[in-house]
Structure formats: C-alpha cells, structure tokens
Amino acid sequence: MRLRNVLPAVGAFAALLIAGCNHMPGAPRAQELARPEDQLDFTALYKTNCQGCHGVNGKNGAAYDLSNPEFQALIDDENLKMIVTLGMPGCRMPAFSRQAGAMLTDEQIDALVKGMRQAWLKPAAFGNDKPPAYDDDQKGDTAHGQLLYGSHCASCHKDSPQQQVTSPDYLALMSDQALRTIIIAGRPDLGQPDWRNDKPGQPLSGQDVTDIVAYLGSLRNPASNAAAPAAPVR
C-alpha cells in the first residue's frame, strides 16, 4: 500500500483514539472497530464472499445450488473445505484462503463450512437410496456415456439453446467435477433432476455418471484447460 493511502487512515485512527479517551458521546472506541478478519458470522461471510455467484440463500445464482440438501449430504467436510480453500480447477470458483493469496482465514473458512452444514444439510436427503460417490478419478467409457446421454439427458437437453450442455463453450467453463455434482445431486433451483430421476425407474450408477462425464468431456474444446479430473486437487 502506498503511504499516501495509509496516512489518512492513520489520522482517522488517531482521532478515534482521542475521541475514545474523551468519552465523546456516540463516538466508537478504537477497539470496537471491526477488522474484516474478525468476521466469523456465517450469514455475513456468505453474503460478502459467495452470494454474488451462488445466489441469495445459496440458490438461484449462476453457480451451483449450495442449499441443495442432496449436495450437502453428498460432499464431505474435507472436500467442502478444500474447494473453498483452494477453489475448483477448470471453472470460475475462486480460492478464498490466505494460503492461496486470497482474504479468508482458516477460522473464517471453517465458519463457512459449519454454517452451510447447519443451514442446508438434511441427513435424510437421500431417503433409503445410496448415491454415487461425490468424486471419481477413474477414466470413463465415452461411447457408453454417449448412449446414456441419449437415453437419460437428450429428452430435455436437445432443443432449447440455454440447455445446450453439450456445447464446447459451456463445457469450457465447467470442470468434470462440476458436471458430476450436477448429474448426481441435481440442481433443484433450476429443475435439473438428480441421478435417480433423469429417466423414471432407471437411476444412474456411479459408473454411468463417470461415463456421461467422460462423454461430455470429450466434447470440450481441446484448447481449453478445463479438463481437470472429476476430483478436486489434493
């Protein structure tokens, strides 16, 4: 920071200290001024850092529906924390931790993870069904994925231009993990079904999901750098 920018702040700080000593009515004491790193309230942290992309109360944003109880039940604390800490390679999910050069402390990231769990996790989200695993670093079968895309996805995704999930431009912005999450847990805020409900009576297996992601990945522009494996970096 340049000195020119610091000096007025120092002046204001000194003025507050003096005001505090004099007990000037209505003036805040210096120690009451909140520093950004002291903010540990989930609602405030979410609003400042996440809401712009993930939407008010976790849904209806451009990015994933974090309030989806199936998503919160699918992902474990470790992966959730890692994604907020380091970001998600291959899509526009930024890193938030100081270790990655951003603003949030470890305590703040813990407060975000805990807050999302408290607000949005419902332990019975899947009823008696067992969902496919959150991540999978195996290589899928592209040809089988294409067949499944035809039987389970194309009915809704063929015609409308906003729903062109096979477009290389769209896929360039979505990592394999982001696609996998959407296929398994759905996006209830948009109307995307979960892995059980693309085609009634024919739920997808974990391998099926891996194969569909491999097919979609094969359509990505090879020049894009989004071809990260369907697993966050460790």
User: d(Cα 39, Cα 55) in Å, to the nearest integer?
Assistant: 20
Answer for which of 91, 125, 214, 226 binds ligand HEC (CB under 6 A) is 91
User: d(Cα 202, Cα 36) in Å, to the nearest integer?
Assistant: 49
Shortest spacing between CB 34 and ligand HEC, in angstroms: 18
Answer for which of 57, 163, 164, 218 binds ligand HEC (CB under 6 A) is 163
Shortest spacing between CB 79 and ligand HEC, in angstroms: 8
- From the number of C-beta atoms within 10 Å of its C-beta (0-12, 13-18, 19+), residue 70 rates as buried
Answer for which of 198, 211, 214, 231 binds ligand HEC (CB under 6 A) is 198
Q: Is 73 in the site for ligand HEC (CB under 6 A)?
A: no
Provide the token pair at 52.
């712009």
9 contacts: CB under 8 Å, gap ≥ 6:
none
Provide the token pair at 228.
């990260």
Identity at 216, one-letter amino acid code: L
User: d(Cα 111, Cα 39) in Å, to the nearest integer?
Assistant: 9
Per-residue interface string for the shown chain with ligand HEC, residues 2-41, x marking contact by CB under 6 A: ----------------------------------------
Answer for which of 80, 82, 111, 184 binds ligand HEC (CB under 6 A) is 80
Residues at the interface with ligand HEC (CB under 6 A):
49-50, 52-54, 63-64, 66, 80, 83-84, 88, 91-94, 96, 112, 152-153, 155-157, 162-163, 165, 177-179, 181-183, 187, 190-193, 198, 212
